[in-house]
Structure 1
Amino acid sequence: MRGFRWRVGLVMGGAVALLGGLFVGAATGAAAAAGCRVAYAVQSQWSGGFTANVTVTNLGDPINGWRLGWTFPSGQTVTQAWSATVTASGSQVTAVNVGYNAAIATNASVSFGFNGAWTGSNAAPTSFTLNGTACTGNVPSPTPTTSPPSTPPPAGNAMAAVAAMQPGWNLGNSLDATGADETSWGNPRVTEALLEGIKAQGFKSIRIPVTWGQHQGAAPNYAIEAAYLNRVKEVVDWALADGFYVMINVHHDSWQWMAAMPGDRATVLARYNAIWTQVAGAFRGSSAKLVFESVNEPQFTGSSGDAQNATLLGELNTSFRTIVRNSGGGNATRLLVLPTLHTSADQARLDELAATFTAMNDPSLIATVHYYGYWPFSVNIAGGTHFDATAQKDMTDTFDRVYNTFVARGIPVIIGEYGLLGFDRHTGTIEQGEKLKFFELFGYQARTKRVTTMLWDNGQHFGRTSLQWSDPELTAQIKSSWTTRSGTASTDQVFNAKASAITSKTITLNPNGATFSALRQGSTDLVRGTDYTLAGDQLTLTAAALTRLTGSRAYGVNAVLSARFSTGVPWRLNIITYDVPVLQNATGTTSSFAIGTAFRGDQLATMEANYADGSNAGPQNWTPYKEFDRTFAPDYTAGTIKLTSDFFAEVNDNARVTLKFHFWSGAVLTYYVTRSGSNVTGSLT
């Protein structure tokens, strides 16, 4: 429970194969010592076209202005580019910086991307030149240009402080709970042991969301309960004593009562100002590592539109800053975090906040947005089952906008919450491999765009009493992404139909700049040439190896392999035996309807729903593909697929609905349901 989320986007169906390669060499700029690394990765490819990303890392002296050249070995052409100006003469290609990314400091990187066309083959280029000098492979020791920041960084050095806050974690669903107590949303009371456990995991900062309204008295003083303010201070002091940077805010108040500001401006502003007057006073003597965030996910009900929203948020942010700065003590220079409307990273919202920063002219300000991914993928709706090219571009575009609007201008950015919206129900809404690819790319983007991130955790990730991660594989991917890239693949599932003879299977590797090193089962390396072959990025498991690995061919996962790369965490491959699932006729009610299902080793990916005339049935009828968990949910233990009351609430009475269940093996099963009042019948024909 985090309040409301605003996510929009268009859907692009289908998974896209991922390719990649790494090329290391040296390059020189006009006044730069030799030394650079170039990572050229084909992020998606289709018949006749592809999308590529190029990252240039400067290992020598700083460069101001760059020109990267290469030759396409297969006659490819560039059709569209971003973050660089790309021109070509035959197969010779030149990419030149744009204004905001001309400078590359020592050990810093810049990235650009392009769409291209190909015929016959799409071999990656194998050599590059930077500013006219061929890459030779030299990697000299870089010349330091600045001293490392102290801890904490000097007062006023907001960029260095925010860099020191990476990575961060959210203490969600505790002090932000809207009930009478921090345990009202099911989490136990916060303990010192919990904070120490998070510290041991490598986190450098903690965002502590706080909801104040239910602990606030009446007008005109709007006094905060002393016991509650003391409890917040106790938790904050524990975290500061552990060495964390700490961020506290005004959290669910944003939608509980602050949203009414368009119709009751004076009351909302008075109440909001009272909170920050009291909080600023209570913490004026706290460490400089304590950071204030004005409000979480600001939103307004009944406003006249974007212009009024921007005005109201600007008024709140300005009032917040004035109150804190005038409260004395450490608050005169304390780092303050200001959000966009809805903490959205849409360009219009970023521009509004940028205007506020310009007006304030305060060097100790930080911008914040949230990121929960491309919405169809994030909740598994509209066929968004894969972290495909559309979902990837949503992420890279977001980081590009944030970087260009703020970071490139010297204004630090914190993504105060990140994750996937499907996690609001449980972490299985998104298929595991697709989920891991999301977090791998997210970490890489955060590093290259110099953005600090704070994982949203409402207790479902790090156990509040067990002090253990619920999904160690996911956590390992997140942690690895803080420092390096990991190789992934087009899938983490290799299906073998029990009803058919076993044949070889091929998957596409995406090394993400790393080098494939081994395919392993447990501690045993499989034999290249016998158990598998590797041709470019195509990894093929032989029929003989799959026959050995599947054994007696029991339904489900028969073996687990790991593809190892030169950097990052391994990529898991489940070897699965399955047969096409079997559905049963069923009867029930709109509040309790389940289809008996023999899954037979397979797993459900998504569900379509249509009426007889072809129109879309059920909620969100702009798409036939319904939202996973919200409208349908598999129960593999019980052997059922449940259709929820939310689904039937928007199904026409006495209308036959055709359902198509899509499974991860590729199997698609058709089923029919008819609602008659509160009664439901389901059948195979």
Structure 2
Amino acid sequence: MRHPPRSGLLLVGAAVALVGTAIAPTVTASGATPACTVEYSVTNQWDSGFQGAVKITNNMAPVSSWSLTFDFAQGQKVTQGWNAEWSQSGTSVTAANESWNGSLATGASVSAGFLASWSGSNTAPTGFKLNGTACNVDGEPTPTDPPPTDPPPTGEAPKLHVSGNKLVDAGGATRRMLGVNRSGGEFMCVQGYGIFDGPVDDAAVKAIADWKANTVRIPLNEECWLGLSNIKPEYGGADYIAAVKDLVAKVEAHGMTPIVELHWSHGQYTGNSAGCSDVHATCQKPMPDAQYAPSFWASVAGTFKDDPAVAFDLFNEPYPDRATSATTQAWTCWRDGGTCPGISYEVAGMQDLVDAVRGTGARNVVLAGGLAYSNDLSQWLTYKPADPTGNLVAAYHVYNFNTCASESCWNSTLAPVAAQVPLVAGEIGENTCSHGFVDTVMKWFDDRNLSYLGWTWNTWDCSSGPSLISDYDGTPTSYGIGLRDHLRALDG
């Protein structure tokens, strides 16, 4: 996708630091189930503020609307929130349902998040009540110990390479990339809020694996990886790289393939279909820049070159075709870079980026998406960059609103590519809050033994973009349930 929905949500003055989730212990009585339970957590915390979340479970009769109240004990003040209407009077905080999430059946849960300020101490709030009924208690409450953590996973991701038009593992078995995108690493850092959007601990990665996904695509930000001066130090350079390496390791530990991908990059573009006028990596640019993108890929490849389980996606969604109306110029720019018509900065072409990767000695599988936001592969084979290792894959993105979003287009433009090189649909999705279109995409790709990844494993809503989940425990949206059930059926 060309923009992550959460970009405008966290517009506050303070910066969010990446810290471990701190969950307040649930208070229960020995005996009957509480009328309602509330799980409270601090997901990020910094010098003067923090990001918190509540997960409410209703164990009473179904309700058509809900209101959660609780008290902060040490001056914390809610400044902004989502998935609920947040308000505060003195120490008392209220979170009331939005118009779209008021119904709460017996046993059902709903999650909401907020930003708040704090000073001195940031202890968990007390006295949670759902529609006036005390939660986490039944009779005289007694604290319980937190649940034991699961043992670390012991899976192993396959070591991949290209063989003809297939991806295969070290033993020569064909491997399809089937999974999800995990957005966040491309925008949180450059906006000054953190590194990832939502949890990326082992439980959160396990939730992806539980869908029977075998691949996770991880969008990255060029300026954050390189630690450029416009990035807050705690979210860039060594800290950012360490966080990405940690997520990659968790993905691999669950037996899944990580794809690290350059999503947002440097370079000022104000022409047709510009996502922003900023020179910095704050939106999708038409092409990667020659100033930093080769350095980014040399660094990324150097980091992961000894791990053939990691794949590299060179650039999210090229669109030099929007900067020039000449198709030949657009494809030449895509492959060769340099001075491109309609683009004011010096461009790094796909060949430049392949060379940057291979110059480190890395033989990892490399993906390259075509024109029109990776939706056009019509001349991909003609302009395919040279790869001395032969480990090059064609990448394709498709949404229901794209130009090439029909079986006739796929038959005429994708099938010839897939006959010669592996083809991975790095993003599939739709803006209908349903899954009819992606069902059609998956069937076409299944019939040809090809790969696809759903956009995106983030808890946004349909108005912001295709979101597979409503909770990082893996609860699917009405759109995401199509991918989840399909992956599980394939695995079965």
- Rounded to whole Å, the distance in 2 between the matches of 1:268 and 1:359 is 19
- Rounded to whole Å, the distance in 2 between the matches of 1:367 and 1:416 is 10
Equivalent residues in 2 for 1:500-649 (5 A)? none
2:309 to 277, 289, 309: 289
1:243 and 2:248 equivalent?
no
What letter is aligned with 2:350?
A: N
Distance 1:153 1:230, change over 3 A: closer
Please name the residue that 2:318 is paired with. Answer: 298
User: Residues 368 and 393 of structure 2 are in contact (CA less than 8 Å); yes or no, is this contact kept in structure 1?
Assistant: yes
- Rounded to whole Å, the distance in 2 between the matches of 1:267 and 1:443 is 29
1:154 shift after superposition: 6.6
What letter is aligned with 2:473?
A: L
- Rounded to whole Å, the distance in 1 between the matches of 2:271 and 2:246 is 31
What letter is aligned with 2:237?
A: E
1:478 to 469, 474, 483: 483
1:407 and 2:435 equivalent?
no
What letter is aligned with 1:325?
A: R
Distance 1:227 1:477, change over 3 A: closer
Residue by residue, what CA displacement relative to the aligned partner does 1:597-617 show, whole Å, maximum 9, x if unpaired? xxxxxxxxxxxxxxxxxxxxx
Please name the residue that 2:452 is paired with. Answer: 453
Distance 1:419 1:463, change over 3 A: closer
- Rounded to whole Å, the distance in 1 between the matches of 2:157 and 2:472 is 31
Residue by residue, what CA displacement relative to the aligned partner does 1:513-559 show, whole Å, maximum 9, x if unpaired? xxxxxxxxxxxxxxxxxxxxxxxxxxxxxxxxxxxxxxxxxxxxxxx
Please name the residue that 1:469 is paired with. Answer: 475
Distance 1:165 1:193, change over 3 A: farther
Please name the residue that 2:130 is paired with. Answer: none
User: Residues 439 and 482 of structure 2 are in contact (CA less than 8 Å); yes or no, is this contact kept in structure 1?
Assistant: yes
Please name the residue that 1:314 is paired with. Answer: 335
What letter is aligned with 1:170?
A: N
- Rounded to whole Å, the distance in 2 between the matches of 1:436 and 1:261 is 33
User: Residues 407 and 450 of structure 1 are in contact (CA less than 8 Å); yes or no, is this contact kept in structure 2?
Assistant: no
Count of residue pairs the alignment pairs up: 299
1:274 shift after superposition: 1.3
1:366 and 2:377 equivalent?
no
SS at match of 1:445: helix
Distance 1:323 1:179, change over 3 A: closer
- Rounded to whole Å, the distance in 2 between the matches of 1:402 and 1:267 is 24
User: Residues 174 and 190 of structure 1 are in contact (CA less than 8 Å); yes or no, is this contact kept in structure 2?
Assistant: no
2:370 to 316, 319, 340: 340
1:354 to 349, 360, 381: 381
Please name the residue that 1:139 is paired with. Answer: none
User: Residues 248 and 293 of structure 1 are in contact (CA less than 8 Å); yes or no, is this contact kept in structure 2?
Assistant: yes
What letter is aligned with 2:357?
A: V
Please name the residue that 1:397 is paired with. Answer: 408
1:419 and 2:429 equivalent?
yes
1:462 shift after superposition: 5.0
1:272 shift after superposition: 1.0
- Rounded to whole Å, the distance in 2 between the matches of 1:244 and 1:189 is 18
- Rounded to whole Å, the distance in 1 between the matches of 2:396 and 2:179 is 14
1:170 to 150, 167, 181: 181
- Rounded to whole Å, the distance in 2 between the matches of 1:440 and 1:235 is 29
Q: Gapped runs of 5+ residues in structure 1?
A: 5-149, 377-392, 428-434, 486-567, 569-685
- Rounded to whole Å, the distance in 2 between the matches of 1:258 and 1:468 is 38
User: Residues 164 and 204 of structure 1 are in contact (CA less than 8 Å); yes or no, is this contact kept in structure 2?
Assistant: no
User: Residues 212 and 487 of structure 2 are in contact (CA less than 8 Å); yes or no, is this contact kept in structure 1?
Assistant: no
Residue by residue, what CA displacement relative to the aligned partner does 1:33-79 show, whole Å, maximum 9, x if unpaired? xxxxxxxxxxxxxxxxxxxxxxxxxxxxxxxxxxxxxxxxxxxxxxx
Please name the residue that 2:81 is paired with. Answer: none
- Rounded to whole Å, the distance in 1 between the matches of 2:394 and 2:309 is 17
1:195 and 2:202 equivalent?
no
User: Residues 174 and 182 of structure 1 are in contact (CA less than 8 Å); yes or no, is this contact kept in structure 2?
Assistant: no
- Rounded to whole Å, the distance in 1 between the matches of 2:471 and 2:484 is 21
User: Residues 199 and 472 of structure 2 are in contact (CA less than 8 Å); yes or no, is this contact kept in structure 1?
Assistant: no
1:174 shift after superposition: 4.1
Please name the residue that 2:158 is paired with. Answer: 152
What letter is aligned with 1:314?
A: R
Distance 1:258 1:289, change over 3 A: farther
Compute the TM-score of the two structures, normalised by the length of structure 2: 0.53
- Rounded to whole Å, the distance in 2 between the matches of 1:212 and 1:317 is 16
- Rounded to whole Å, the distance in 2 between the matches of 1:298 and 1:191 is 31
- Rounded to whole Å, the distance in 1 between the matches of 2:486 and 2:471 is 26
1:205 shift after superposition: 0.4
- Rounded to whole Å, the distance in 1 between the matches of 2:385 and 2:287 is 26
Please name the residue that 2:46 is paired with. Answer: none
1:218 shift after superposition: 5.5
1:277 shift after superposition: 1.5
User: Residues 225 and 296 of structure 2 are in contact (CA less than 8 Å); yes or no, is this contact kept in structure 1?
Assistant: no
SS at match of 1:327: coil
- Rounded to whole Å, the distance in 2 between the matches of 1:232 and 1:154 is 20
Distance 1:462 1:317, change over 3 A: same
Residue by residue, what CA displacement relative to the aligned partner does 1:173-199 show, whole Å, maximum 9, x if unpaired? 3444463456589x3242221111111
1:327 and 2:360 equivalent?
yes
1:418 shift after superposition: 0.8
User: Residues 224 and 240 of structure 2 are in contact (CA less than 8 Å); yes or no, is this contact kept in structure 1?
Assistant: no
1:234 and 2:246 equivalent?
yes
1:211 and 2:221 equivalent?
yes
Distance 1:464 1:212, change over 3 A: farther
1:354 shift after superposition: 1.0
What letter is aligned with 1:159?
A: K
1:374 shift after superposition: 4.0
Please name the residue that 2:21 is paired with. Answer: none
- Rounded to whole Å, the distance in 2 between the matches of 1:233 and 1:172 is 15
Please name the residue that 1:270 is paired with. Answer: 291
Equivalent residues in 2 for 1:436-447 (5 A)? 436-447=435-446
- Rounded to whole Å, the distance in 2 between the matches of 1:339 and 1:309 is 13
- Rounded to whole Å, the distance in 2 between the matches of 1:320 and 1:415 is 20
- Rounded to whole Å, the distance in 2 between the matches of 1:444 and 1:266 is 31
Q: Which has the higher strand share?
A: 1
What letter is aligned with 1:191?
A: D
SS at match of 1:357: coil
User: Residues 196 and 242 of structure 1 are in contact (CA less than 8 Å); yes or no, is this contact kept in structure 2?
Assistant: yes
What letter is aligned with 2:309?
A: K
Taking only the aligned residue pairs, the percentage that are identical comes to: 17
User: Residues 345 and 402 of structure 1 are in contact (CA less than 8 Å); yes or no, is this contact kept in structure 2?
Assistant: no
User: Residues 334 and 364 of structure 1 are in contact (CA less than 8 Å); yes or no, is this contact kept in structure 2?
Assistant: yes
Bigger radius of gyration among the two: 1
1:483 shift after superposition: 8.1
Q: Which has the higher contact order (CA 8 A, sep 6+)?
A: 2
What letter is aligned with 2:179?
A: G
1:240 shift after superposition: 1.4
Distance 1:195 1:182, change over 3 A: farther
SS at match of 1:354: coil
Distance 1:295 1:400, change over 3 A: same
SS at match of 1:356: coil
Residue by residue, what CA displacement relative to the aligned partner does 1:560-607 show, whole Å, maximum 9, x if unpaired? xxxxxxxx9xxxxxxxxxxxxxxxxxxxxxxxxxxxxxxxxxxxxxxx
What letter is aligned with 1:233?
A: K
User: Residues 157 and 254 of structure 2 are in contact (CA less than 8 Å); yes or no, is this contact kept in structure 1?
Assistant: no
User: Residues 315 and 369 of structure 2 are in contact (CA less than 8 Å); yes or no, is this contact kept in structure 1?
Assistant: yes
1:228 shift after superposition: 1.1
Residue by residue, what CA displacement relative to the aligned partner does 1:633-652 show, whole Å, maximum 9, x if unpaired? xxxxxxxxxxxxxxxxxxxx
1:335 shift after superposition: 0.4
User: Residues 351 and 385 of structure 2 are in contact (CA less than 8 Å); yes or no, is this contact kept in structure 1?
Assistant: no
1:311 shift after superposition: 1.9
- Rounded to whole Å, the distance in 2 between the matches of 1:436 and 1:405 is 27
1:414 shift after superposition: 0.6
